[in-house]
Amino acid sequence: MSFPPVHPQRVELNDEAHARPPETLKAPVRISYLALFSNADLRDQQFRQIVELADVFGVRPPALGAIHYSVDMGRFRLKWERHSEFARYKFIVAGSGDDPFSDPPINKLAPGWLASLAGEVLVATHAAIIPADQISEDYDNIAARYFAGNALVGSAISGGAAIALTDFRIRADGFSRLLVLDKSLRPRQAGRAIQRLLEVDTYRLLAQLTLPVARQLAPALGKAEAELAEITTALISVSEASEPLLLDRLTKLAAQIESFEAKNHYRFSAARAYHQLVQRRIEELREARIGALQTFQEFTELRLAPAMNTCSATAARQESLATRVARATQLLSTRVDITRERQGIAVLTSMNRRADLQLRLQQTVEGLSVAAITYYIIGLIGYAARGLRAAGLNLNPDIAMGASIPVVLVIVGLGIRRIHRMVHEEASSHAETPTHSQP
């Protein structure tokens, strides 16, 4: 069959639905789980460490550029996944003794490999799935035996097919514990249940990474709000001379708020996304209360919701402050523009006044120029009349000069006016002619 052109990302997008599948687990089974917080710079190093581990155990390495990898290494089964901000590792061993936490799978790793892992440990958990009929559902006894007597958090999950128990506490070995009592879990169902339970803890801590950021940001936002209040109060009675100084303060404050938002926007957005993932994973557990134990949803919301509310309030406070600073900046900029326009009008008025004075002075000078030119021409006429009288012509030079004064005065005045008219017409024609820019 002939196909139209295939989209270059069709296979990649289709396979994304099958990425990071849960492991198939059958009780009894033990799991050591690590979630390492790490940035993108450590991705290549983490990949190389997985390749090195595969070489040590003589198994196939992950494909180049892979973001998830699952393989049986003989002593244990490894499941590795790479996410945007963290990488997670599951080490799985079938079977369990009297104490499912006494010999965790992580003990079977090559010496020194664990300590060399790139990233920072965010979550470390030993989990175990054991058949429910192998242990009494005496939760006080379970808490004393496996959880150092701590208060348990737990519920029936997967529609009653299992019971999940934990205390969400980190023990002296650096790991917390998760115990699942299998009543009727299918292997795939058990893998999904363990994955969701571990993801609840992982995404809970990832969401709470924003809480220290919000606490550190609160004093700076308080100081910025006080500065904004001071500036807006000063706006009411600010003088024209002080407006540029006030605008400079406001611009610096806007830059500071923008810096806060640019630096922390991703962290606040990530907190919202991780919180939603926690809520979704808890919903997928299909919890049912058992006895007087606190459920995973109750425990998580009781601890996580206040932290997320603090982060949301800080993010909203930051956005509101940025909006108010922008509004104040626009208002002050408008005032500065009006002040500049007023100053410009004053300058133009002054220039017009100076132009009027120059015009009057010019008219005075022109009047003197007409008199001066007339005087010189009349002088020339006098010289001419004397020359003609000396040549024998009966002509009185004084009468000729006196009679020619009105005529010369009119002619000179008309000539200067014509020159002015020609100059103004030429200037007007140049001003009206549009200038064309060269292509």
Domain of 245 in residue numbering reads as 210-345
- Same domain, yes or no, for 363 and 303? no
Q: Are residues 322 and 415 in the same domain?
A: no
Which residue from 365, 374, 362 is spatially nearest to 413, judged by alpha carbons? 374
Q: Are residues 361 and 326 in the same domain?
A: no
Contact 62, 77 (CB under 8 A): no
Same domain, 164 and 272: no
Judge if 314 and 229 occupy the same domain: yes
The whole-angstrom separation of Cα 153 and Cα 301 is: 13
324: left (phi over 0), alpha (psi -120 to 50) or beta: alpha
Indicate if 31 and 63 belong to the same structural domain: yes
Q: Omega before 306 cis (within 30°)?
A: no
Residues 341 and 369 both lie in one domain: no
**Both tokens of residue 346?**
């004053």
Domain membership flag for residue 58: yes
Do 361 and 268 share a structural domain? no
Does residue 39 lie within any of the structural domains? yes
In a domain, 15, yes or no: no
Q: Within a domain: residue 200?
A: no
Asked whether residue 311 is domain-assigned, the answer is yes
- Are 28 and 170 part of one and the same domain? yes
- Domain assignment present for 285: yes
- Tens-binned pLDDT, residue by residue, of the chain (439 aa): 677 888 888 877 777 666 677 889 999 999 999 999 998 889 899 999 999 999 989 999 998 888 889 999 999 999 999 998 999 999 999 987 778 998 899 998 877 888 899 999 999 999 999 999 888 888 999 999 999 999 999 999 999 999 999 999 999 999 999 999 999 999 999 999 999 999 999 999 999 999 999 999 999 999 998 988 888 888 777 777 777 788 888 888 888 888 988 899 899 999 999 999 999 999 999 999 998 899 999 999 888 999 999 999 999 999 998 888 888 888 777 777 777 777 788 788 888 888 778 777 776 766 677 777 877 888 888 778 788 788 877 778 778 778 888 888 788 778 777 777 777 777 677 666 655 544 4
Split into its structural domains, the chain has a count of 3
Q: What Cα–Cα distance (Å) separates residue 255 from each residue in 67, 249, 262, 371?
A: 39, 10, 10, 68
Quick one: tokens of 81?
A: 């996944």
Do residues 326 and 278 share a domain?
A: yes
* Sign of CA pseudo-dihedral 366, 367, 368, 373: positive
Pairwise CA distance, residues 27 & 190, whole Å = 8
In this structure, are 182 and 42 located in the same domain?
yes
Report the distance separating Cα 152 and Cα 144, nearest Å. 10
User: Is the same domain home to 179 and 316?
Assistant: no
Output the CA torsion 221→225→228→233 (10° steps): -170
In a domain, 404, yes or no: yes
> Does residue 434 fall inside a structural domain?
no
Domain boundary among 345, 366, 400: 345
List of residues 6+ apart from 378 with CB closer than 8 A: 401, 404, 405, 408
